[in-house]
Amino acid sequence: MTDTGETTFSPNSAIDTAIKEMLAYFSTESQVRMRKVILNAKKAAEKHLDENTDAGARHTFREFIPGSILNQNGFAFEYEKLVQGKTPDWLDDTASLMLESYTYERGGSSNFIDRVSSSVTGKCNKYKDIVTANSLRFIVAVYLDFLTCISLDDCREDSEKFRSVFDANDSLWAILFFTETYVIGGKQQYGFFCLCADSSFEAIPNWPFDTMNLNQKMPKSPYNNLFQRTAKNRVR
């Protein structure tokens, strides 16, 4: 908390500001849950001062990014809303969309495709009954840590490699890749690339992401110019 009594969510001023800006796009109920989760992650990181707890705080912040972008475009995602005994990261009942997040970081013994496939399959298995019972479109958002050297262009060029993930998981509608790109006016920007099982995204009003049906070329969108293999001047 600052001298003025304002809550500080992160010691990184840019991230702290970003979180506060994101909160404005969510309902009061979601804001309460988001505040609790990010403050708990911050306390754990401050207490233990190790890589695992710091990574947990980073992962929590990254969970907020796709939900905030969607709500800025007119969606109504709720954070960790209870549904059939479980709390997915994001749920929009009106748009019939559910979203879970995963961070792909450096390290690990398996390759990129295998690690993403394993995580996506695990999340699909966890929520497939809810997805089916409520006729939801299920999205897994994958944050690409820049230190892994995996870019959005890599995901787009190698999109065919993810076909087996969709084939193995009937409940999966889309994989949304996102990462840091560059800074404008001191504010971190993000790039997005969405790989979808079908073309139904075209009928969703204000769908904000560059999206490719596995059998089609990617259409243009306002986010196209954010694809960069190497991002400079990132916020830390």
Q: What does the pLDDT look like over 80-133, one tens digit per residue? A: 999 999 999 999 999 999 999 999 987 767 789 999 999 999 999 999 999 999
In a domain, 8, yes or no: no
Residue 209 Cα distances to 3, 43, 127, 204, angstroms = 39, 33, 23, 11
Q: pLDDT tens digits for 18-34?
A: 999 999 999 999 999 99
- 8 A C-beta contact, residue 139 and residue 174: yes
pTM of the full structure: 0.85
In a domain, 2, yes or no: no
In a domain, 103, yes or no: yes
Q: Which pairs count as long-range contacts for 84-89, CB under 8 Å and 24+ apart, including other chains?
A: 84/129, 84/130, 84/133, 86/126, 86/127, 86/130, 88/127, 88/130, 89/63
In a domain, 105, yes or no: yes
* Count of the separate structural domains present in the chain: 1
In a domain, 167, yes or no: yes
In a domain, 120, yes or no: yes
CA pair distance 170, 32, nearest whole angstrom = 33
In a domain, 6, yes or no: no
In a domain, 195, yes or no: yes
Residue 112's domain comprises 13-226
pLDDT mean across residues, the chain: 86
